[in-house]
Amino acid sequence: MSVFEHPAFDDHEKILFAADPETGLKAILAVHSTARGPAVGGCRMWSYASSAEALTDVLRLSQGMSYKNIMADLPIGGGKSVIMRPEGEFDREALFEAFGRALESLNGAYISAEDVGVSPADMVSARRATRHVVGLPDGTGDPSPVTARGVFMGIQACVERGLGKADLNGVRIAVQGATGHVGAYLCRHLAEAGAELFLTDIKADPLEALARELGAQVVTDPNAIYDVDADVFAPCALGAVINPSTIGRLKVKIVAGAANNQLETRDMGKALMERGILYAPDYVINAGGIINVMGELDARFDAKWVSGKLETLKSTLGEIIDTAASQSRPANQIADELARERLSEAALAKAA
Ligand code: NAD
């Protein structure tokens, strides 16, 4: 397994491989950039097939956090961690306490929150060994409602540009992962704004209930969401949903949703553009959650500040889409370039 030569290494500042045989912990903590402040990003626990797969995941996610945090103009850097889920029974509290010890050894270069497979209660276990954790139950709470608000505002910005409409009344929106933490909040915002909703999820019962509540149509086969004749596709479930086997099926004019890493590969952004589909770069539109978590780092980042930041998210997204349109270039490329430019500037400013 190569590290420095890894295609996603991208000059990570630090990577810690942490093992604790007593608890079964095998974790990788990746600090991509601290140019703007301590790296902040979630900890994911997943049944990885190999340590190579875990390394690839953490490197991509960690770079993504740097891009997300700098595009939202937050005074933090980007990092992420993964825990290879132990096989069989394990002591969860002890595992996360061991993760906390590994985190502590980075002396604050990286602050962890929760991600897929990790709960606020796990962060409480980690907290026994380190103070460098956020996303605690008595902290800012579930970030999903704020992520959903940001995605909703981002969809408004996309609809203004892609459909030339000032509001969402009658706009047809297909939501994947509709009953999820972000999806459900987003659907309620969209329904309230008068959108016509097509909803799917792999959880059939909550899906039926949500659709009834909102007067939305259910797309029973989750895989059929790509074929829906709608204006907007909002991926709010998994990553890599825009890929060679789905892209040709899309009938929408806009792809804008909460999921991380929506494009299977970066060239999918160009493929969307060539099909006349406007794409909202995921790490720009879904930054509401990390914006909200800032409240746990500093009391200045209160609800009013969060609301202001969401307005900035909407205008930044609009500017990226406008630049992409005027230069006939993919929006994800414009966002990546801007993020890298800002990261270089921040690194220079830190070194000065
Ligand atoms: P979640 O697990 O609560 O929701 C995901 C939903 O997708 C679930 O209801 C699940 O049943 C559904 N789903 C899974 N596979 C599916 C499939 N094949 N087809 C249709 N539905 C499927 O997660 P979440 O916290 O709502 O996050 C959703 C996405 O947004 C993730 O990609 C996450 O990384 C990203 N995100 C979340 C936040 C946040 O604040 N929670 C912030 C930024 C990005």
Query: Averaged over 182-197, what is the pLDDT?
Result: 98
Domains of the chain with CATH codes: 3-61+76-127 (3.40.50.10860), 144-340 (3.40.50.720)
Interatomic CA distance for residues 241 and 260, integer angstroms: 10
- What does the pLDDT average to over 166-194? 97
Report the side by side order of strands in the sheet with 217-218.
217-218, 196-200, 172-176, 232-235, 254-255, 278-279
For position 292, what pLDDT does the model report?
93
Rounded average pLDDT over 22-51:
97
Pick the catalytic residue: 80, 253, 309, 314? 80
Q: E-strand spans in the chain?
A: 14-20, 25-33, 39-46, 77-84, 110-114, 172-176, 196-200, 217-218, 232-235, 254-255, 278-279
Mean pLDDT of 208-228: 98
Q: What is the pLDDT of residue 298?
A: 87
- For the segment 93-112, what is each residue's pLDDT rounded down to a tens digit? 999 999 999 999 999 999 99
Look at ligand 1, atom 4, and give the residue with the nearest C-alpha. Answer: 180
Q: Which pLDDT belongs to residue 103?
A: 98
Q: Which residue has the tokens 């960690």?
A: 62
Residue 240, token pair as written in the block: 């890599």
* Total length of the chain: 352
Distance (Å) of CA 80 to CA 18, 288, 304: 14, 17, 27
User: Does residue 346 have a pLDDT over 90?
Assistant: yes
- % of residues, the chain, pLDDT over 70: 100
CA of 338 to the centre of ligand 1 (A): 27
* Spatial distance between the Cα atoms of 340 and 348, rounded to a whole number of angstroms: 12
pLDDT at 65: 96
Does pLDDT of 141 surpass 80? Answer: no
CA-to-CA distance for 35 and 38, rounded, in angstroms? 8
Distance 258 CA to ligand 1 centre (A): 8
* pLDDT over 90 (residue 1): no
pLDDT of residue 142: 81
Active site residue 314: no
**DSSP states along 49-105:** SSHHHHHHHHHHHHHHHHHHHHHTT-S-EEEEEEEEPPSS---HHHHHHHHHHHHHT
- DSSP 3-state of 147: helix
Closest ligand 1 atom to residue 257 Cα is 30
pLDDT score of 137 more than 90: no
Q: Summarize the confidence of residues 331-352 as an average pLDDT.
A: 95
| CB of 238 closer than 8 Å to CB of 177 | yes
* pLDDT for residue 136 is more than 90: no
Task: Please give all residues whose beta carbon lies within 6 A of any atom in ligand 1, as ranges.
Answer: 143-144, 147, 176-177, 179-183, 200-203, 222, 236-238, 258-260, 286, 289
Query: Is residue 244 over pLDDT 80?
Result: yes
Write down the pLDDT at residue 143: 87
Going from the Cα of 177 to the center of ligand 1, the distance in angstroms, rounded, reads 6
Which residue's CA is the nearest one to ligand 1's atom 42?
A: 289
The structure's pTM equals: 0.94
Separation CA 12–CA 181 (nearest Å): 31
Q: What residues are designated binding site for NAD(+)?
A: 177-183
Averaged over 273-290, what is the pLDDT? 97
Q: Which two tokens stand for residue 223?
A: 């895989």
